[in-house]
Amino acid sequence: MKKENVRPFLDEIKNEMPNVTVLERMEDRLVYAHGCYPLEYKWLLQGPYPFLPSAILMPNNTKEISSIMKLSQKYEVGIIPFGGGSGIVGGSIAENEEVMIDVKRLRDFEINPINCTAKGGAGLTGADFENMLNEQGYTCGQYPQSFQSAVIGGMVSTRAIGTFSTKYGKMDDMIHTLEVVLPNGHIYNSHTTPKASTGPELDQLFLGAEGVYGIVTAAEIKIYPVAEKRYFESYTFKDTETALSAIRKFIQNNVRPAVIRLYDEEEAIPRIEKFNYEKGHVILIVGYEGLAKQVDLERELVKEYCEAHGGVNKGTEAGEDWFHARFSTKKMLDHDAMRGGTADAIEVAAPWDCIVNVWREMRKALEPICSGIDCHFSHVYHAGASVYVIFHAETGGDDIEGALRYKQCLDVAITTSLKYGGNVSHHHGSGKAKAKYLVGEHGETGMEVMQAIKDALDPQGLLNKGVLGL
Ligand SMILES: Cc1cc2nc3c(=O)[nH]c(=O)nc-3n(C[C@H](O)[C@H](O)[C@H](O)COP(=O)(O)OP(=O)(O)OC[C@H]3O[C@@H](n4cnc5c(N)ncnc54)[C@H](O)[C@@H]3O)c2cc1C
């Protein structure tokens, strides 16, 4: 990154691309300086913000992004793509005063009713895209908690996931084709066939790459007719282990309701109290949607597996209650805003044969340094599931102590997950916050491969430097 070249780089953009908005005021730079990484909250409270981008560019289309990338190579100026800013792993920290490219003006939208896909520009939020689909009788089934702010480019780049993932899949399962601008400005477009035996699947290179290999400008996403029927219900079980066994059994028999959320003994407490269920038990919320007959059949099958494991059907109230409050993160945000306080949702994945250990040991390791820990399992697969560990901590000290406690909690959570067979991240990505742990998941050889691809695509290391440890 040649900081001294930022000025002539921006001047050439202003001269050659008058439709690209260039933001350089301090207020704009501060707004873009932070996403939702908990340490960024602490930095905001600690005084002058430590990492500001030099400027923010707002292009209108893929061609303009391509031209900007060519110029960034000419001037050796570092670039950070910016979507909704809801990333929580520090993927857009401008450590070297990089220039940001905000993709939010890329808002193309087109449905292909024959293939049942819809192309969305990288700047459409999850809510924009879903609302546009709903107006024409379709859904894509992607409802992350950050639905209102995360945009398509950001969700593709982090392999994001929504709460209805068991039926509709993760963002990475939903993609039919991608358009990506490479660091040298070349534009990659994937072919539209649904399957190919023509070499590695290149889209996979950009899914979850967090912008290190290119800037995602559009994605064609699988869509479905809006469900005829949606139904929520819940079961209580005597403990987490038994409930996990019931879930594993029906999933491995290919019974796939849309929503599965199992709250462990601690996180279940407020709901157990609210609905007066059996004290000390855990709660499984199951949501179904699709054709009415399919929903009824899935309910019957899930019931058989749950009851075979001692599960007790509790009707619709706990599931409906979750659905209405599903976008709230107030408790975590209150802790982040607190002097000396901190909180985060650490989400890892583990295969079924070690998931109980990963959950139990992460909880145990965090308990001495946290004031509260909530754990749930909300994305399940044939061979394993995600483990969500939400910690809240208060130091009683200042923002610097809060920041130190955050780093300690993050380290304890991830090293424990890796030690017991889990991974570093299930869907939030690694950004700069978790980058140093990736070698524990991919090994030295895996990191060498990732770096070799980076060196080939971006030999000057200008795009999202430091993210994923590259
Ligand atoms: C309250 C809250 C709830 C959340 N709930 C969920 C959830 O349910 N599921 C989930 O998966 N995540 C969740 N997240 C995390 C976050 O919303 C996701 O990581 C999301 O995918 C980030 O998208 P964004 O558009 O905000 O990306 P940004 O924060 O703008 O960027 C994230 C990373 O991607 C890069 N990037 C952005 N746009 C592009 C692009 N077009 N091309 C290449 N790289 C790009 C950035 O440089 C950065 O490294 C939540 C976050 C918050 C704050």
Cβ of 101 below 6 Å from ligand 1:
no
Where among 225, 243, 271 does a domain terminate? 225
* Predicted confidence (pLDDT) per residue in 123-149, tens digit: 999 999 999 999 999 999 999 999 999
Asked if residue 228 has pLDDT above 80, the reply is: yes
Q: Which residues form the domain of 79?
A: 3-102
C-alpha to C-alpha distance for 48 and 50, rounded to whole angstroms? 6
Region 298-304: what's the mean pLDDT?
Answer: 98
pLDDT in tens, 75-98: 999 999 999 999 999 999 999 999
- The reply to whether ligand 1 has any atom less than 6 angstroms from the CB of 155 is yes
- Do 219 and 249 lie in one domain? The reply is no
Q: Whose CA is nearest to atom 27 of ligand 1?
A: 154
pLDDT at 227 over 90: yes
**Residues ≥6 apart with Cβ < 8 Å to 18:** none
Shared domain check, 286 and 200: no
Q: Is the CB of 177 under 6 A from ligand 1?
A: no
Residue 187 located in a structural domain: yes
Per-residue pLDDT at 462: 98
Domain shared by 220 and 120, yes or no: yes
Centre of ligand 1 to C-alpha 340, Å, is: 26
At 233, the pLDDT band (50, 70, 90 cuts) reads very high
CATH code of residue 372: 3.30.300.330
Q: How far is the CA of 457 from the centre of ligand 1 (A)?
A: 23
- Residue 176 Cα to ligand 1 middle (Å): 20
Calculate how far, in angstroms, residue 396's C-alpha sits from the geometric centre of ligand 1: 31
pLDDT for 33 equals 96
Residues 366 and 351 in one domain: yes
Angstrom distances, CA of residue 325 to CA of 134, 318, 321: 21, 11, 6
Q: Give the Å distance between the CA of 361 and the centre of ligand 1.
A: 28
The CATH number of whichever domain residue 124 belongs to comes to 3.30.465.10
Examine the pLDDT at 412 and tell me if it is beyond 80. yes
Which residue CA neighbors atom 10 of ligand 1 most closely? 160
Ligand 1 centre to CA of 268 (Å) is 28
Cα 399 to averaged position of ligand 1 atoms, centre (Å): 25
Residues 36 and 54 grouped into a single domain = yes
pLDDT > 70: percent of the chain: 100
Atom of ligand 1 at shortest distance to CA of 171? 11
Do the domain assignments include residue 464?
no
Q: Is any ligand 1 atom within 6 A of the Cβ of residue 88?
A: yes
pLDDT, position 45: 86
> Residue 336: what pLDDT?
79
Q: Is the pLDDT of residue 19 over 80?
A: yes
Which residue, 283, 301, 325, sits at the end of a domain? 325
Atom of ligand 1 nearest to the CA of 216: 42
pLDDT attached to residue 330: 74
For ligand 1, whether the C-beta of 83 sits within 6 Å is yes
Same domain, 98 and 113: no
Q: What does the pLDDT read at residue 258?
A: 98
> Of 66, 86, 213, 326, which is best to mutate to test ligand 1, by the most ligand atoms within 8 angstroms of its C-beta?
86
Does the beta carbon of 154 sit less than 6 angstroms from any atom of ligand 1?
yes
124 shares a domain with 171:
yes
- Does 215 contact ligand 1 (Cβ within 6 A)? yes
Instruction: Say how far apart CA 270 and CA 61 lie, in whole Å.
Output: 48
C-alpha of residue 155 to centroid of ligand 1, in Å: 5
432 shares a domain with 338:
yes
Question: How far is the centre of ligand 1, averaged over its atoms, from the C-alpha of 35 (Å)?
Answer: 9
User: Distance from the CA of 279 to the center of ligand 1, in angstroms?
Assistant: 37
Distance 305 CA to ligand 1 centre (A): 35
Kindly give the number of the ligand 1 atom that is closest to the alpha carbon of 81.
47
305-337: per-residue pLDDT in tens?
A: 999 999 999 999 999 999 998 887 777 777 777
For residue 83, being part of any structural domain is answered with: yes
Closest ligand 1 atom, residue 161 Cα: 11
Quick check: CB of 210 below 6 Å from ligand 1? yes
CATH code for the domain of 41: 3.30.43.10
Mean pLDDT, rounded, of the chain: 96
Q: Is 249 a residue whose pLDDT tops 90?
A: yes
- Residue 456 covered by a domain: no
**Ligand 1 lined by 87 (C-beta under 6 Å):** yes
Which ligand 1 atom is nearest residue 217's CA? Answer: 41
Residue 297: give its domain's CATH number: 3.30.70.3450
448 occurs within a structural domain: no
Domain boundary among 164, 190, 225: 225
Residue 329 pLDDT: 74
List the beta bridge partners of residue 263. Answer: 283, 376
CA of 160 to the centre of ligand 1 (A): 7
Q: 468 in a domain, yes or no?
A: no
Asked if 57 and 117 sit in the same domain, the reply is no
Ligand 1 neighbour 153 (Cβ under 6 A) = yes
Residues 150-205: pLDDT tens digits?
999 999 999 999 999 999 999 999 999 999 999 999 999 999 999 999 999 999 99
Q: Are residues 233 and 219 in the same domain?
A: no
Using 50, 70 and 90 to split pLDDT, how confident is the model at 399? confident
Compute the distance from residue 85 Cα to the ligand 1 centre, in Å.
Answer: 6
Using most ligand atoms within 8 A of CB, pick from 428, 465, 470 the residue to mutate for ligand 1.
Answer: 428
- The pLDDT of residue 385: 98
pLDDT for res 339:
86
Residues 277 and 218 in one domain: no
* Per-residue pLDDT at 397: 86
**Per residue, what are the HEC states of the chain?**
CCHHHHHHHHHHHHHHCCCCEEECCHHHHHHHHCCCCHHHHHHHHCCCCCCCCCEEEECCCHHHHHHHHHHHHHHCCCEEEECCCCCCCCCCCCCCCCEEEECCCCCCEEEECCCCEEEEECCCEHHHHHHHHHHCCEECCCCCCCCCCCEHHHHHHHCCCCCCHHHHCCHHHHEEEEEEECCCCCEEECCCCCCCCCCCCCHHHHCCCCCCCCEEEEEEEECEECCCEEEEEEEEECCHHHHHHHHHHHHHCCCCCCEEEEECCCCCHHHHHHHCCCCCCEEEEEEEEECHHHHHHHHHHHHHHHHHCCCEECCCHHHHHHHHHCCCCHHHHHHHHCCCEEEEEEEEEEEHHHHHHHHHHHHHHHHHHCCEEEEEECCECCCEEEEEEEEEEECCCCHHHHHHHHHHHHHHHHHHHHHCCCCCCCCCCCCCCCHHHHHHHHHHHHHHHHHHHHHHHCCCCCECCCHHHC
User: Ligand 1 within 6 A of 151 CB?
Assistant: yes
62 belongs to a structural domain = yes
What are the tens digits of pLDDT across the range 42-78? 898 888 899 999 999 999 999 999 999 999 999 999 9
pLDDT band (50, 70, 90) for residue 350? very high
Q: Is the pLDDT higher at 113 or at 339? A: 113
Kindly state if the Cβ of 428 falls inside 6 Å of ligand 1. Answer: yes
Q: Is 363 within 8 Å of 422 (Cβ atoms)?
A: no
